Amino acid sequence: MSGMAVTRSDWANTLALLGACLLALACGWTRSGVVVRVADTAGTGTAPVRSDDGVWVAPGPYQRIISLDPAIDDALAEMGLAPRLLAVSSWSYAHGSRARLLQQVPHQLPPGAGLEDLLALHGDLVLVSGASDPLRSAHLRAAGMTVFDCGTERTAADAAQALRQVAALLGQALLGEQLASRFLSRLERVRDPSLPQLSACYVAIYGGELLGGTTGTTYHDLLVAASLDDAAARRGWRDWPTYHQEDLVTMAPQVIVTVTGMGATLRALPGAARIPALAADRIIEVDGDLLAQTGIGELEAAEAVAAARRRLP
């Protein structure tokens, strides 16, 4: 039989396949109300706030907030809203820059917390970061929860914007604006224009991999705040690149910012003498938890890097 011939079984199977596809399409096509959902704001006099994933969420007197965004936890604590938090990430609780203010929050959520863990808390608002799985947010919304995506707060400007939005969502727009402006202006004041500009880059070494952080991340903000010129950004790198040693030689940073304890490993790299920062031993080591801060906690990290930069020869 020729391969081109269409048999009765072909017709039957094609019809079955088409039927299954149409049925699946019918099940999947119905648009859910989660993409654009605005809760009833009549009478509240407040406009809905646009979540980073496109969903409009109505402001309200949320009192049982589950926050999965460490960058926002610190800001909420700073604004005196910690009593309205029902749960925060275990990272914020243990390592956040405002951890002391979060100790009264009833629940900590470990990184592996699943949907069921979140639903079981019966919160009235879930704050997620742009790093969250969009499917999880969709699932939470489908279960009737109000979810607000604060976006990816990779830079100080992003963090300030997220802070303003969340504060507006909680009916504290003025407080949020004040904190955001204060945070950005203090970060700007960390910079000392009288210092000579040195080229620098952030590098950490884990398992032999040289991991960077540049434009589009808090590491770039930290370097700029410490009056350093981000060499990786100049070379067109973005986000969290993985470097080869040759990249460091090419960038030729005069200063390297790294995590406490990693300076010795970097100095021992073969060819370290060809990298000016390592040859001149101009390495700034900062506590890893401090460097990992996002949101308003970034300010303390910037101050630490700037202080170390002033001590450099």
Partner 1 sequence: MRLMLGVSLALVVAAAASLATGPVGWADLDHQLLLLRLIRLLAGILAGAALAVAGVLMQGLFRNPLASPSVTGVSAGAALGVELALMGSVLLPGLLVIVPAACLRPAAGFGGAALALGCLLAVARRRGDITSVVLLGMVLSMLFSALGAYLLSLANDRWELGRILVTFTLGGIDTATGRSVAVAAPLVAVALGASWCWGRTLDVALSGEHEAASLGVDTRAMMRWTLVWTAVLASAAVTLGGGIGFVGLIVPNVVRAYLGPGHRQLIIASALGGAAFLTAADVCARVLHPGPGEIPLGAITSLVGAPFFIWFFSRERAAGRL
As to burial, measured by CB atoms within 10 angstroms (0-12 exposed, 13-18 middle, 19+ buried), residue 302 is: buried
Residue in 56, 117, 178, 249 binding partner 1, rule: CB under 8 A: 117
Is 52 a binding residue for partner 1 by CB under 8 A? The answer is yes
Is 67 a binding residue for partner 1 by CB under 8 A? The answer is no
Is 27 a binding residue for partner 1 by CB under 8 A? The answer is yes
251 or 283: CB nearest partner 1: 251
Is 106 a binding residue for partner 1 by CB under 8 A? The answer is no
135 or 264: CB nearest partner 1: 135
Single out the residue of 226, 277, 225 nearest to residue 249, CA to CA: 277
Strand 85-89 and strand 209-213: the pairing is unpaired
Cβ neighbors of 258 (< 8 A, separation 6 or more) are 202, 203, 204, 205, 266, 283, 284, 285, 286
Is 111 a binding residue for partner 1 by CB under 8 A? The answer is yes
Is 110 a binding residue for partner 1 by CB under 8 A? The answer is yes
DSSP string covering 166-213: HHHHTT-HHHHHHHHHHHHHHHHHH--TTSPPEEEEEEEEETTEEEEE
Sign of CA dihedral 293, 97, 183, 172: positive
Stretch of 96-104, 163-171, 237-245, 299-307 lying at the interface with partner 1 (CB under 8 A) = 237-245
Is 134 a binding residue for partner 1 by CB under 8 A? The answer is yes
Is 1 a binding residue for partner 1 by CB under 8 A? The answer is yes
Stretch of 46-54, 163-171, 195-203, 222-230 lying at the interface with partner 1 (CB under 8 A) = 46-54
Residue in 45, 61, 83, 112 binding partner 1, rule: CB under 8 A: 112
Tokens encoding 311: 């001590």
Is 4 in a helix, a strand, or coil? Answer: coil
Answer whether 312's CB lies under 8 Å from 200's CB. no
Binding region for partner 1 (CB under 8 A):
1, 3-4, 7, 9-10, 13, 16-17, 19-21, 23-24, 27-29, 31-32, 34-36, 52-54, 110-117, 119-120, 129-139, 142-144, 152, 238-242
